[in-house]
Amino acid sequence: MHRTRIKICGITREEDLRAAVASGADALGFVFYPKSPRYVTPERFAALAAGLPPYVSSVALFVNAGLEEVRAVVDAAPVALLQFHGDETMEECARVADAVKRPFVHAYRVRPDTAPADLLECELAYRAASPWFSGLLLDTYVDAYGGAGKVFDWSLIPKELAPRVVLSGGLSVQNATDAVARVRPWAVDISSGVEASKGIKDARKIADFIAAVRAADATIESEHPHESSTGSSPGEPGSHP
């Protein structure tokens, strides 16, 4: 069965967490970047994470954070996956992930002149650098870090890489079905596309986005009944040391 995993990022309120869970999100993202309007402290994260049911994962997003910042979050509440969304080097990501014993994804901000081979080479290098590496999250290159709401050229994603990536950048209710049908990523990641305002989610948009992704999954399944989601699985339990 083809099933795209769905992450709702930038959770700051209990009601938004409940809405995402009720609509069928697989993972929720929490932002630990003080300059972001979606920033939460480790203490606030712990309070929010207490409302997570089993099998809904928490993802901790960092931008150029040091080890102690990451450790404070991991110690505050269960974290299934780290997301490095800044200018961290491959070595820094590997070192921090190993220190806190958590798998990680790294954001690759795709430019108009990015070559498909660049993405393949980057993924290969990360896999060689760390057993904790789970995959690339592909976002749109902008001056800010994440949450910009802009789409990049999906045709730049190599077909052989697509089943292993997390697709982000400008996703919305309007383009979710097309994105999944065209790219067929392992997962999709949305933040600003399901918001009423920065840091405040819209329950209807969340439900409609997830329904749009599932509609694409159903179409793929009907057209390719023997095809399933393949590739490595970012953040899946048991796939790391």
Which residues are catalytic, by number? 9, 139
User: What is the CA angle 215-221-222, rounded to 5?
Assistant: 90
In 3D, which of 214, 217, 235, 236 has the Cα closest to residue 227? 217
Angstrom distance (rounded) from CA 15 to CA 172: 20
User: What is the CA angle 185-191-193, rounded to 5?
Assistant: 90
CA dihedral 184, 94, 191, 50 (to 10 degrees): 110
First to last CA, the chain: 27
Place of tokens 């590496």: 133
Which residues are CB-contacts of 189 (< 8 A; sequence separation ≥ 6)?
Answer: 7, 9, 29, 137, 166, 167, 168, 171
**Are the C-beta atoms of 48 and 38 separated by less than 8 Å?**
no
**Are the C-beta atoms of 93 and 72 separated by less than 8 Å?**
no
Angstrom distance (rounded) from CA 40 to CA 146: 15
**Are the C-beta atoms of 125 and 91 separated by less than 8 Å?**
no
